[in-house]
Chain A
Amino acid sequence: DVKVTQSSRYLVKRTGEKVFLECVQDMDHENMFWYRQDPGLGLRLIYFSYDVKMKEKGDIPEGYSVSREKKERFSLILESASTNQTSMYLCASTNGGRSGNTIYFGEGSWLTVV
């Protein structure tokens, strides 16, 4: 069974803290993505990576950075968390090649910044 695992399901952090959200996939996928989900806004792409050490900004990259040192792991970093980053964060991965390939999602990480 394919797996995208987000290690932290629920986090509460203080304003100004550095936050790491980790995502691991076991399918040898080239492409990995970080989305945030907010009511009424759907899912918005923060960053994605198409290879190890390669990344591109999505639609809302401000306040975030990412790291992909190994193919299976894609980390989202909030350098200095703010209350407007309280949200649910979804990681996803897929093969390269035809873009009709299925995209697999993790179960989400709920982040509350107080």
Chain B
Amino acid sequence: AQTVTQSQPEMSVQEAETVTLSCTYDTSESDYYLFWYKQPPSRQMILVIRQEAYKQQNATENRFSVNFQKAAKSFSLKISDSQLGDAAMYFCAYRRSSGGTSYGKLTFGQGTILTVHP
């Protein structure tokens, strides 16, 4: 079974600074997707960024970028120029690419609470 681990329960950053959230995962699959989701106090889950395992290039979405290290099974999220609106719980998630009817499942990490200080 796949597992996802976020070892940082809480992180904090000053506004306009950069912060990196860590995520490691364990899988025997070679093709899969990795995601970072943001959950603000409203509890609505928002997709931040996704990475396809077969792509070596790290995904980027505006101020959000990832460092995907497939061999190390590491998938960290870097937030540049942090804003107050970035404060939220962040979840790392894994999804296998194929394999019968269960391929759609997302496996989540424990979450990291990010605080942004003005």
Contacts and interface: CB of A to CB of B under 8 A. Distances in A.
Interface residues of A, number: 27
Interface residues of B, number: 27
A40 B110 contact: yes
B111 A99 contact: no
B19 interface: no
A94 B105 CA distance: 10
B23 to A, nearest CB: 11
A99 B102 CA distance: 10
Given A99-B97, A99-B98, A33 B106 contact: yes
Given A56-B101, A108-B43, A99 B33 contact: yes
A74 interface: no
B30 interface: no
Nearest to B5: A42
A100 B43 contact: no
Chain A CB within 10 A, most for which of B95, B106, B111: B106
Given A102-B47, A108-B43, A42 B104 contact: no
A107 interface: yes
Interface string A45-60: 1001010001010100
Q: Is the interface of A mostly helix, strand, loop or mixed?
A: strand
A41 B42 contact: no
Contacts of A45: 105-107
A103 interface: yes
Given A96-B104, A99-B104, A42 B109 contact: yes
A25 interface: no
B39 to A, nearest CB: 8
Interface of A: 31, 33, 35, 40-45, 48, 50, 54, 56, 58, 88, 90, 92, 94, 96, 98-100, 102-103, 105, 107-108
Contacts of B50: 100
B43 A58 contact: no
A105 B34 CA distance: 17
Given A54-B101, A107-B44, A99 B96 contact: yes
Nearest to B91: A42
